[in-house]
Chain A
């Protein structure tokens, strides 16, 4: 089966660092994505990992361990505008030979002054 878990809510302080974890179980893993979604808006792409290790993009970094079925998104120097839902999504290669994204429930991050 397919299962993606991430915390429902997190709170952090402006200027701090926060780590959002994601664990997954899928049958045909082919990459892990992180998306940011502000309330009422579309998800926007943040990062992609397919090999083990850390990918860094400015204030955002994402880590993947395929053997552990584990990823995290690290947000540094938090800003108020980072308050949003963060979606972990795994690309699953189904029987149709077409990759599809399976999303976790999302982590709502609230950044406080």
Chain B
């Protein structure tokens, strides 16, 4: 199994809603990542979890709240989002975040629209 899965594939939410994005991998990877990608732009790193602990937060607004319940799961809780938060949210994983030659494998993403 070399797959990173994400649910839902598409999400439409209002600015007052609370929703969660989910990511799962069963490759035994110990590092997981959240990226945000706007149209025709590269992915921008949001968070890195290493061994289920948050190791990087790229100054992301608190309306985005990550959670890593175990080594296979990564969630992104969304609350009071703004229309400019509409984007493709990509999850990725790698064997670890500490070794040099670690390739990140991306999930298919959740396309989020905030109305």
Contacts and interface: CB of A to CB of B under 8 A. Distances in A.
A30 B109 contact: no
Contact of A45 (B41, B42, B45, B104): B104
A103 B97 CA distance: 17
A97 interface: yes
B106 A104 contact: no
Contact of B106 (A43, A98, A100): A43
Task: Name, among A89, A91, A96, A99, the residue most crowded by chain B CB atoms within 10 Å (CB to CB).
Answer: A99
Interface string A22-39: 000000001101010000
Question: Chain A interface mostly helix, strand, loop or mixed?
Answer: strand
A103 B92 CA distance: 14
A42 B98 contact: no
Nearest to B42: A103
Interface in A83-113: 87, 89, 91, 94, 96-106
B86 interface: no
Given A48-B101, A98-B50, A42 B107 contact: yes
Interface residues of A, number: 26
Interface of B: 31, 40-45, 48, 50, 55-56, 90, 97-98, 100-109
29 contacts: A30-B100, A31-B101, A33-B103, A33-B104, A41-B109, A42-B90, A42-B107, A43-B90, A44-B106, A48-B101, A50-B101, A87-B42, A91-B100, A94-B56, A96-B56, A98-B31, A98-B56, A98-B97, A98-B98, A99-B97, A99-B102, A100-B56, A100-B97, A101-B104, A102-B45, A103-B44, A104-B42, A105-B42, A106-B42
